[in-house]
Structure 1
Amino acid sequence: MIRSELVQLIAQDNPGLSQRDVEAIVSTFFDEITARLAADGRVELRGFGAFSTRARDARTGRNPRTGETVAVQAKRVPYFKPGKEMRARLNV
C-alpha cells in the first residue's frame, strides 16, 4: 500500500472528512514520527510496533560499477520492530 491508497481508504471510511483533510492528517502523522526519530527518540504504536533508529559504524565500501573502495560515513538508520499483535495476525 502506498500513501495515496492509505489516504483514499481513510477518506472512504470517514465520509465526513474531505480528502484534503485526510491528506493533512496522514502527513502530520508521518511528519511527527519522522521528527521524533530525528530527535533520536522512539515511537511506539501499541499492537502495531515500534519505530526507532540504530547506529551504523563507518566502514569501507566498494563501488559496484568500478570496484573502487569508498569510505562510508557512520549514520543512523530507521528500524521497525513489529508488535506482538501484528506478529500473531501475520502468523495465523
Structure 2
Amino acid sequence: MTKSELINILAEKFQEIPHDDTEMAVNVILDAMTKTLGNHDRIEIRGFGSFVVKYKLARNARNPKTGEAVYVEEKAAPHFKAGIELKQRVNKSMEPTIKLAA
C-alpha cells in the first residue's frame, strides 16, 4: 500500500472529512513519526508494533563486484518490530492459503 492509497481508503471510509484534511492528517502523523525517530526516540503503537532506531558501526567491507576493500561509515536505520496482535491478524488472514498449500 502506498501513502496515496492509504489516504484514499481513509477518505472513502470517513466521507464527512474532506480529502485534503485526510491527506493532511496522514502527513502530520508520518512527519511526527519521522521526527521522533530522528531524535532517536522509540515509537510504540499498541497492537500494531514498535519502531526503533538501530545503529550500525563503521566497518570495512568489500565491493561484491570488484572485491575491493571499502570503508562503510557508521549509520542509523529505522527498524520495525510487529506486535503480537498484528502477527496474529496476518497469520489468521493467511489460514486458507496455508491449508491449500499443505
TM-score (normalizing by structure 2): 0.83
Superposed, 1:46-65 pairs within 5 Å as 46-65=46-65
Per the alignment, residue 77 of structure 1 pairs with 77
Q: What is the CA–CA distance in structure 1 between the aligned matches of 2:62 and 2:18, rounded to whole Å?
A: 49
Amino acid at match of 2:14: N
What is the number of residues matched between the two proteins?
92
Please report the RMSD computed on the Cα atoms of aligned residues, expressed in angstroms.
1.2
1:6-21 to structure 2, matched below 5 A, reads 6-21=6-21
1:23-42 to structure 2, matched below 5 A, reads 23-42=23-42
Structure richer in helix, relative to its length: 2
Take 1:69 and 1:26, find their aligned partners in 2: how far apart are those partners?
A: 43
Residue aligned with 1:86, SS: helix
Letter matched to residue 48 of structure 1: F
Cα distance in 1 for residues equivalent to 2:57 and 2:29: 30
Unaligned runs of 5+ in 1: none
* 1:86 corresponding residue in structure 2: 86
